[in-house]
């Protein structure tokens, strides 16, 4: 059973009188444990694809099976549960709550889920997620007391706290400098090495090279789908080693 299977997925937006085919018969299979980068020009459909894959938006037509289950047949509540339990989201702008500590931000997904955990257990899970991203010592800081890279790591901890099978990241390094970008990529690679399937949208070719598979979108279609060599990955592994030592 593959985590992500799209078959002939279409999504059209209406802009006044014009129709924009944001996704035009997209077929895409992503296997467990893959690390995939999605590239392509602005407006090519990358975010629309991520929104459909993340069940934030529905396709107009086509089949989408998430971990073998047809998303079309799910009601709102099932979709909310699957988003909360199976998928972690990371965005360019971090999307952390202001005036709220890192720890509280990371605990939020645990509180939204029905039948939520007892507070002590939730706190413990959030602390563990912050440890995983190397930020346990900043857990009482609020976003404006953290650097951009640290804020993104808090957002990644929040994405991890429910132990997702899949992480979807839309331009996660778009607001970061090159050094911090490498740190965040190293973290994604560690998570991928632990078995999490990662799909990451990026504008930057050198970011895409850290993935093992690169998919290029053009006008709502997949134009290219390539496996890439391991050179870049080796560099990131070396960096990840330095960071944790």
Ligand X SMILES: Nc1ncnc2c1ncn2[C@@H]1O[C@H](COP(=O)(O)OP(=O)(O)OP(=O)(O)O)[C@@H](O)[C@H]1O
Residues forming the site for Mg ion (CB under 5 A): 47
Q: Which of 7, 10, 20, 56 binds ligand X (CB under 6 A)?
A: 20
Nearest approach in angstroms of CB 172 to Mg ion is: 12
Using DSSP, state whether 49 is helix, strand or coil. helix
Asked whether 168 and 90 are in contact (CB, 8 A), the reply is yes
Contacted entry of ligand X, Mg ion, none for residue 45, CB cut-off 5 to 8 Å set by kind = ligand X
Q: Are 55 and 79 in contact (CB under 8 A)?
A: yes
Q: Which is nearer to Mg ion, 24 or 128 (CB)?
A: 24
Candidate list 4, 6, 22, 199; residue touching ligand X; CB under 6 A: 22
Q: From residue 102, how far is each of 5, 90, 226, 230 by CA, in Å?
A: 34, 15, 37, 34
- Applying CB under 6 A, which part among 35-43, 118-126, 175-183, 229-237 lies near ligand X? 35-43
CA dist., res. 225 & res. 26, Å (int): 12
Query: Which does residue 22 touch among ligand X, Mg ion, none (CB within 5 to 8 A, set by kind)?
Result: ligand X
* Nearest to ligand X of 13, 112 (CB atom): 13
Rounded Cα–Cα distance for residues 198 and 36 (Å): 6
Of 9, 36, 37, 48, which lies in the binding site for ligand X, with binding defined by CB under 6 A?
48
75: which DSSP letter?
Answer: -
**Closest CB to Mg ion belongs to which residue?**
47
Does residue 67 contact residue 30 with C-beta atoms inside 8 Å?
A: no
- Picked from Mg ion, ligand X, none, the partner binding residue 20 (CB below 5 to 8 A depending on kind) is ligand X
Q: Rounded to an integer, what distance in angstroms lies between the CA atom of residue 37 and that of residue 204?
A: 10
Q: How far is the CB of 148 from ligand X (least distance, A)?
A: 19
Could you list the residues that contact ligand X (CB under 6 A)? 13, 15, 20, 22, 40, 42-48
């Amino acid at each position: 059973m593959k985590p992500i299977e799209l078959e002939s997925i279409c999504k059209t937006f209406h802009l006044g009188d014009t129709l924009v085919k944001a996704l035009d018969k997209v077929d895409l299979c992503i296997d467990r444990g893959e690390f995939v980068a999605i590239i392509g020009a602005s407006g090519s459909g990358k975010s629309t694809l991520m929104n459909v894959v993340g069940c934030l938006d529905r396709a107009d037509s086509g089949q989408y099976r998430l971990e073998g289950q047809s998303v079309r047949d799910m009601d709102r509540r099932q979709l909310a549960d699957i988003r909360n339990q199976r998928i972690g989201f990371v965005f360019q702008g971090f999307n952390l709550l202001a005036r709220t500590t890192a720890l509280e931000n990371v605990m939020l997904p645990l509180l939204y889920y029905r039948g939520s955990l007892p507070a002590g257990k939730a706190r413990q899970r959030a602390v563990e997620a912050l440890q995983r991203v190397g930020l346990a010592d900043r857990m009482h800081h609020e976003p404006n007391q953290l650097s951009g890279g640290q804020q993104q790591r808090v957002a990644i901890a929040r994405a991890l706290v429910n132990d997702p099978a899949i992480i979807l990241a839309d331009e996660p390094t778009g607001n970061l400098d090159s050094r911090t970008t490498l740190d965040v990529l190293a973290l994604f690679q560690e998570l991928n090495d632990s078995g999490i399937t990662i799909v990451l949208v990026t504008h930057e070719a050198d970011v895409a090279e850290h993935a093992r598979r690169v998919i290029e979108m053009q006008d709502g279609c997949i134009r290219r789908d390539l496996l890439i060599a391991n050179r870049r990955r080796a560099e990131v592994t070396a960096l990840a080693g330095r960071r944790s030592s």
